Amino acid sequence: MRAVSKIWFVIEMVFFFFKRFISSNIEVAHEVLTPTFYMEPAVIEVPIEVKTDHEILLLANLISMTPGTLSLDISDNKEKLYIHAMYVDNVKDFLKEIKQLEQRIDKIFD
């Protein structure tokens, strides 16, 4: 039964990431194709709860694979991830999205 729930969590995370991936592609394509400047870039320090190297690696890579975001660094104590994002009009909403991704990763490795 545990394997079935893990498979479900993986499928759920893939769909969550795919939705975010598509919306980010549209956002970046819009930025490229229109003359107006909509970017609000920022480097954000994100506290993370995932602890193992595999979880941190997956989180950082999924963030970097999303257009408009890039994982820059992890703190020495592995409690904070530094992310550059092109579109940060609301830091709380951005952090919420990262937390949702992090929670899905945690469910898979739990």
Let me know if 96 is exposed, middle or buried by CB neighbors in 10 A (0-12, 13-18, 19+). exposed
| Distances, alpha carbon 88 to alpha carbons 4, 44, 60, 101, 104, in Å | 36, 9, 18, 17, 22
The pLDDT of residue 1 is above 70: no
Between 35 and 76, the higher pLDDT residue: 76
Contact indicator for 9, 107 with CB cutoff of 8 Å: yes
Q: What is the mean pLDDT of residues 2-24?
A: 90
Which pLDDT belongs to residue 80?
Answer: 97
What is the domain partition of the chain in residue ranges? 2-109
Decide: pTM greater than 0.95. no
Q: Which of 65, 57, 53 is closest to 14 using CA atoms?
A: 65
